[in-house]
Copies of this chain bind each other. A is one copy, B any other.
Amino acid sequence: MRQSRRGQVDPFIVMDVMEAARRAEASGRHIIHMEVGQPSTPAPAAALKALGQELAEPLGYTVALGLPALREGIAGLYRRWYGVDLDPARVVVTPGSSGAFLLAFAALFDAGDRVAVGEPGYPSYRQILRAMSVEPVGMQTRAENRYQPVPADIPEGVQGVMIASPGNPSGTMLDRQALAALVERTQEIGAALISDEIYHGLDYGQRAVSALELTDDVVVINSFSKYFSMTGWRVGWLVVPPDMVRTMDRLAANMFICAPHASQVAALAALTPESEAEAQANLAVYAENRRMMLERLPAMGFDRIAPPDGAFYVYADVSALTHDSAALAADILDRAGVAVTPGVDFDPVRGAGTLRFSYARSSGDIAEGLDRLARYMAGR
């Protein structure tokens, strides 16, 4: 059968690591998972309880923009977290942040448009753009800029700029001033600004700044996946300027009909104080994991690491150790029994010299993983 050119997106190299880890486990080995980008904890108990109680109802389609109570609840979160007074009409509930990217890219960009994406960055930005015939233009960000773009990094003539704070894989954040500079520059050049904020809530010192604190002329993307520990539920959201709501409504009705109803019910109950307390308890685990990582990784030789402001990743420059991070990751898995992610998926230019370590698992797992990594590095 015929296939399109745009459908030929790059494979995830991390899949090779995950498959190798799976084989190792199938053969009886014990593997510590520092490659995964998701919590190991379940959705908040209140979310599961609320869904359990609704299961007897027919969970048909919701309206395209999402359950009204959920959109109100999300608007309330912006008040609580950022002091931003947000009209719930501007909130669009989507099938995960993945659905939010699809919707935003369809609403903002035509075929042939160019969109700047930070490198290193979440690889699916590039691949979804390509699958929609939009050209991603890599911005090679610098360690001294916390692997975040600065205005001078934004290429000429782009129609959009994609930012992420905290970033994946870097975990670094844009502070208010750095974010304001990017807002200003994108407005100057007439490019759409898309702010991926899916790791908000997972920060360890400074609170993450939402682009909505600075401007309404932005498309903000967030999700229940990370802070609320609901990855597999596939509920994300967009906040859009008021004049984009109608476009989003029409596009969402056609492209998705709606986000999964049962998941929306669970997500609504994730916004209760009880659920947020549970999310904060998970955050305390990540904070302890991060403390261990920052104490021990540099000592064992992973000493060129990005400032880990948020999320649950440490991004390390290992170019002094290897020019083939995929091979290094494979060797670490083989000899140390720790799965880590080579940087090639995140940065097509420098990723062969970087690794991403996730600390989303239990503290016991992380401590054991660090022990294994230390022995591995000592034996190199």
Residues of B within 8 A of A96 (CB): 256-257
* Beta-carbon nearest neighbor of A159 in chain B: B2
Q: How far is the CB of A161 from chain B (nearest CB, A)?
A: 12
Total copies of this chain within the assembly? 2
Asked if A328 is at the interface (CB within 8 A of a chain B CB), the reply is no
What are 30 A-B pairs at a CB distance below 8 A? A1-B108, A2-B108, A4-B109, A4-B110, A4-B113, A6-B110, A6-B111, A7-B107, A7-B108, A8-B247, A9-B254, A10-B250, A11-B250, A12-B253, A40-B60, A41-B58, A42-B58, A52-B55, A58-B232, A59-B232, A95-B95, A95-B260, A111-B133, A131-B255, A231-B257, A234-B234, A234-B256, A234-B260, A260-B262, A260-B263
The A contact surface, by secondary structure, is loop
B2 A192 Cβ-Cβ under 8 A: yes
**Bound Cα distance from A260 to B42, whole angstroms:** 14
> Which one of A98-106, A149-157, A205-213, A318-326 is at the B interface?
A98-106
* Beta-carbon nearest neighbor of A132 in chain B: B132
Q: How far is the CB of A292 from chain B (nearest CB, A)?
A: 22
**Bound Cα distance from A255 to B106, whole angstroms:** 13
Interface string of A156-192 (1 = CB under 8 A from B): 0001000000000000000000000000000000111
Asked if A5 is at the interface (CB within 8 A of a chain B CB), the reply is yes
Interface string of A238-265 (1 = CB under 8 A from B): 0011011001001101111111111100
Residues of B within 8 A of A144 (CB): none
A210-249 residues with Cβ-Cβ distance < 8 A to B are 217-219, 229, 231-234, 240-241, 243-244, 247
Asked if A128 is at the interface (CB within 8 A of a chain B CB), the reply is yes
**Bound Cα distance from A259 to B243, whole angstroms:** 30
B3 A244 Cβ-Cβ under 8 A: yes
